[in-house]
A and B are shown apart, each in its own frame.
Chain A
Amino acid sequence: MTTKKKISFTGALFRILGFSLLGGMAVGALSAVLMLEGGVTDRTSILATAGALMGAVMIVVAGVYSIRWWQSVDEAVRHAHAWAWYWGGSAGLAISTLFFIVFTVTDGVVARALMQKLGYEGGAVEFGMILTAGPMLLGYGIAWGIWWLRHR
């Protein structure tokens, strides 16, 4: 039950955003230098590399602050999140699985129709990721609220 120095959820979130912003600025500056001074003219590959670097920075920073935040909260808060992730996340994943079954059985026809209906113009892979993570996060949020309502 040992807890470390308190770090609030919003505090961790702002730190993640702040470090990501700094990382983005550094990556952007590096890209500009490579294009202006380094003779690199392929703008697309520079932007793709910058995007990947930025993503890596965000993942590392988010990981570090997630661990720090987790270590700083008490056992009931941890239990609420673990319970919410298990039940809410699993329920969300079950819904995502239904989407995937329907999309597979219909050979992507329903998926494309849904993308069109929602006005989504990105790639199918990204759409799939949203349909996986979205219900899981939604289920997680709902289950977290239920846990605290039941334990008030």
Chain B
Amino acid sequence: MLIFEKSSTGRRATAQAPLQQADMEGIPAQFLRRQSASMPEVSEMQVVRHYTQLSQKNFSIDTHFYPLGSCTMKYNPRASNSLASLPGFLARHPLAPETHSQGFMGCMYDLQEMLKEATGMFAVSLSPAAGAQGEFAGVAMIRAYHDARGDDARNEILAPDAAHGTNPASAVMCGYKVREIPTGADGDIDVEALKGVLGSQTAGIMLTNPSTVGVFERRIKEIAGLVHEAGGLLYYDGANLNAILGKVRPGDMGFDVIHMNLHKTFSTPHGGGGPGAGPVGVSERLEPYLPVPMVAQDGEDYVWLTEDNRPESIGRLSAFAGNAGVLLRAYIYARLLGRDGMHRVAEFSTLNANYLLKRLTDVGFDAAFPQRRASHEFILTLKRQARELGVNTMDFAKRLLDFGVHAPTTYFPLLVPECLLIEPTETEAQDELDRFVDVMTTILQEAQNDPEKVKSAPHDLPVRRLDDVRAARDLDLAWRSRAKGER
């Protein structure tokens, strides 16, 4: 039942609004609303109960194992939330003067410095509000760099065919054409094919390493050399930074620009889809183009760098300073971990992934790249099960939900048929991984003995499989009051 359907005319949560009803003195009637908005009229307790009950229909990290590949669903420390929510941080107006911002700015400056060190980049700007905005900023900087040199005939960005869809979409937002590079049978990029398409039209290449197929791109140095030789720049998509934190740095691999997903690697909450934060780091030659604002140190004081003192910047990407509260949470997490903790992120996420891969292949599942080490995640292909048993990846995913496990990422990357991309993260204990193996084994047995049970899953959730076709054909995107009728 929707909150609107719990509404009764005249009922209100009166404690929440100002007691006095002021009038809109001085505003001519033509500007005023004639009919109140059609909002729920409910009591405070109804609201609390309604949304508490809704929350209980969600799977989340706090309640379920959530091995959603490429999303790094690890434990989100409670301290990050409570300390970022201290009154001084919540009350600070984004346009407060620097005199009243030194505490906040100090945190941001420290975070910039820590991210520089962790990624091996020359400079960092925290302002992009999410990974996709970081990607946009990164490609826009590549363009600004070429344009500033008068090298503006470069109109093409390269990306592997296995790349996340955001990569090509971001490149197009920056006015580039996108050309895809094939992935070889071993999961690495096809370097010969890359050589064939590099040229004076190449603005850059967007890579993830470990790649979206869950393995480390071993010839990265060679690739970097080839792209640089052709005059292009290398973009690092930080989606999989969790796998290498403290082990190898994008700057050392030869990347010119990177974005980080702090909601993944630095464990800020995913919040049902956001907010994230997507800081960007660059090599020295791209430094002038970093998005504003940034924080600098001037003697004892922290100062803002804006359009005024960074004229070559690609500009501002949000009205204020990006998702500041997310950045604070990431900072708190980074301070809790420290240098050793960062090494352990890569170590234990990799240990968990390789352990889980080994156990799952031992019980009869097929790895997509059996000759390769897993990074912090790996791909199973259920092609054989789909062919032999008629039970596909979607069916496995839905059946997992019945066992209280959030499904891994399904059908991505597209080039591996019937795939499950599994990322256990470092915060899961061995017993939880073993339980997952048991559940997968059970479902495999069901698929052999009672395939209908798997194909019609889930059975024990608030709803069964939903009619997506109906949802897209007969669009119902908002509740409308029956009394007032359809618009």
Tell me whether A and B are bound partners: no
B residues with CB within 8 A of A: none
A residues with CB within 8 A of B: none
